[in-house]
A = this chain, B = another copy of it.
Amino acid sequence: MIGASTHPEKLGYGVARNLIQSGYRGAVCFVNPKGGYLFTRFMYKSVAEVPDPVDLAVLIVPAPAAAESLRLCGERGIHAVILISSGFREAGATGVALETKVLQIARQYGIRLLGPNCIGLLDTHLPLDTTFLPPPSPRPGEIAFISHSGAICAAIIDWSLRQGFGFSRLISLGNQADVNETDMLIHTMLDEYTRVLTLYLESVADGQRFIDETRRVNRQKPVVVLKVGRSAGGQRAAASHTGALTGVDTAYIAAFEKAGIFRADSIEEMFDWARALAWSPLPRGRRMAVLTNAGGPGVIAADSLENEGLQLADLSPETCAALTALLPSAASLHNPIDMLASASSIQYASCLRLLLDDPCVDGVLLILPPPPMYPAVSVAEALIPIIRNASKPVVVALMGSTQIDMAAERFQAAHVPEYRFPERAAAVLARLTERAEFLSRPEQPAQVFMDIDADKARSLLTEDPIGSWLAPEAAEGLLRAYGIPVASIKLAHNTGEAIEISQELGYPIALKIASHDISHKSDVGGILLGIDSPESAAEGFRTIQDQVRKAKPEADIEGVYIQRMIPQGQDVIVGAVHDLKFGALMMFGSGGVEVEGLKDVAFALAPLAIDEAERLILKTWAGRKLTGFRNNPPVDLEAVKETLQRLAQLASDFPKISEIEINPLRVFEKGAVALDVRVKI
């Protein structure tokens, strides 16, 4: 520990104290250039004097001295350093330079560096505590917490003491000059004491690696994230609907979904969920029973469960009969089961056992307001052995404070998840159910299509400058190169060409204005439909140009695109934008000109496995109606999935495609075809 201090108000004292008090079983050596003693230990004047082996150096020195200290660590052959000090990137330009220098030395000596500007890490099982936080330390537990904020570490350690859960590890990442959140994931998962990973994130350093690693981790141990910074920063200017509908948070939402991890909306929610995920068995289904001694809380629980998408179990006739025998006649046996205020510990225990034995029940929400007749703690004591031995989750809503204190402590000590009110308990059962469903869903690989012509696509993308729109023929060619059917479109420069192309494509045809300056053609009279003769093609050619010139005189018009009219079908929008953090972000939904108003769209990150494509589609009304609605027959859902997957592959292969949008994609009983496509470089 370099920078140990004998002054109790200094951080270098706090870290030294915690290193000793944490009970770390290896050697702890203090370094201070002045020498002397701290906690009855000799202080070395230099890291060079510290005897072998050294696994880790904790560094608290003023920022300007950090680089030199780190160099000495490197010379000494130390390969892991926690740099606690602040005064780096977070403190302006001088700090940035100091941080760059520190990182450079770390790289030079092969040092992995946590920090700077962090409170270090804490492992309750090793045990090891490199923080300077005042005692008490957190209790040992099963939850790991990785955080971009040191202050939040400090606050939740203190908060957790009364919430009845402990931590396996806490890691404060600080400025992440070297080690970042993703680096810590796998190592934390491998820790045998850790059962759940929780993360407070302000951003993600490397989007693709984060998704890959969290996917792996999350298959083994559940990951719960609180991601902030949703509303920070303005919306970037977007050219297409897909771009306009993408918020700052859209890609993160899609990333967390792709990794199958839980996203909490608040700190309390994150740890509500985490301790149940650490302690409870997972339910086999969505059918929940509510056991209560009062009607009101039972109704709240029923509401909350249904609101979370869970079901109120229909009890088996055997269970109903047994409950009838146990309970007074005025009790309510229809789930929620209301045993009435007179319910004793024995009735609570017997009813809970019956519910857990019922094959129609997948989990139980148990409500315990202060029972008027018995102390809550005696009920808790009767229930704990049953809950501990159950193969189904039981989540407890303990209502009150002074009268349920002891009961809460017993439940916490027995690792039974308990919450103050039924609403939070219901949310926890929902997360357990979702976790079970996630684990039961086999991981499907994203399909990679081989019948594509990447060279052709590349050649079509070389010509246009950044920020420009691809010419329609090139955009069309791009889709064709990736096996997406497109309605042929050709450019006519004059009436003669218009007639010629029309004859070649066959009637009826549609005419669309060709102009780089116009992104929404129908807004300026730039579309004519149902042209069915050479004469009307020629006339249409003139009309469309006149209309556009009138609506937008400054637009540079190249001519008119001609396309064969396509039979009726269902129209949807399919698009992708390139997200700088996570790559191709796919959109699907209701298209047309009202897409931005209706907002019937959903997003997912590329690449898309077949089940991901299906989930994306079915999130929207546009997608659900593909399976048929009212008198409209079902259309080819498979073709839409394939289009989405192929477009995802195309957008992933070419990051220079900033936005690509098929609007509409027309879907038939058999097949689907892009009627219009726009590509921005």
Contact = CB atoms under 8 A, between A and B. Distances in A.
Contact of A162 (B150, B402, B599, B625): B402
A524 interface: yes
A9 to B, nearest CB: 8
B600 A624 contact: no
A372 B10 CA distance: 11
A575 interface: no
Nearest to A292: B151
A577 B519 CA distance: 43
A247 to B, nearest CB: 12
A439 to B, nearest CB: 27
A128 B530 CA distance: 82
B159 A420 contact: yes
Contact of A299 (B9, B232, B520, B600): B232
A302 B155 contact: no
Contacts of A507: none
B268 A421 contact: yes
A622 to B, nearest CB: 9
A152 B303 CA distance: 15
Interface string A137-160: 000000000011111101110111
A228 B300 contact: yes
A577 to B, nearest CB: 21
B593 A152 contact: no
Interface string A403-431: 11000000000000000110110000000
A163 interface: yes
Nearest to A305: B231
A91 interface: yes
Contacts of A159: 399-401, 420
A664 interface: no
B155 A297 contact: yes
A238 to B, nearest CB: 15
A369 interface: yes
Contact of A149 (B297, B423, B590): B297
Interface in A267-322: 267-268, 293-297, 299-300, 302-303, 306-307
A202 interface: yes
A153 to B, nearest CB: 9
Nearest to A593: B630
Given A90-B295, A158-B403, A161-B401, 10 more contacts: A134-B370, A151-B341, A152-B297, A158-B399, A158-B400, A159-B399, A161-B402, A230-B303, A265-B423, A268-B421
